[in-house]
Structure 1
Amino acid sequence: MTREDLTIALALALGAAVLFGVLLHLLWQRLRHGGAAELEKHEHMAERLHEAEEAQEAAEIHMRAEIARVEAERAEAEAALHRALAEREAELAAAMDTVGSLRRDLEGWQEAYEAIARGRS
């Protein structure tokens, strides 16, 4: 065997060893990750994740609608309270005017009574 033959034989043996190593690595990876069963598991998890994301989006939409409804009710209640407060303030002002008018009338009656009482004495 010549030197060139030995070099070629060693190169072929090393190439075959590398190829064999790559094939063993691929086989090991396939066995380690479970193959089709693992793939189905990943697909199932992806499907569940997608469903959860859709449910989250639906919940967010529902929450936004509920917030808008509550805000509208709050605004309506606030407007009603402002109207009621304005009515009560108007009633109070009218009552105060009436009380002032009655006080003036009472003062007039008192002055008249005192004048009559002084006239009799």
Structure 2
Amino acid sequence: MAFEEFKHKKSRGVLEPRVSISNAGFFILNSGCMKQQFKGFDYVVLFWDKQSRKIGIKPVRRGFKHGYKLNKNYGIGAFCGRSFFIHYRLQGLNPNGKKTKSYRTEWNSKEGLLEFSVR
């Protein structure tokens, strides 16, 4: 088998804010989220709207009792939300459990959080 050289440059990432959920229970915020809504924040707080089946992620400063540390690397952010999924019985968000699922998001300016539907 002969190797073929990849001659394209790396992409700059998707600027449309999206959140991905890994099969291991990690939330991954793309570069669009980090640049537009989470710049300068090191923690997030999670919210659940049972009626509309929406998850909310609010950027916060240090000192929130229920805040998750936002790990930043290469322009994206991530944090583990396993306990959130277990508490609200949302383990089935990745039905096949084998790959990461990505969700379109909207900024809710009234609540000051990023939200997305998991219907």
What TM-score, normalized by structure 2, do the two folds share? Answer: 0.16
What TM-score, normalized by structure 1, do the two folds share? Answer: 0.16
Greater Rg, structure 1 or structure 2? 1
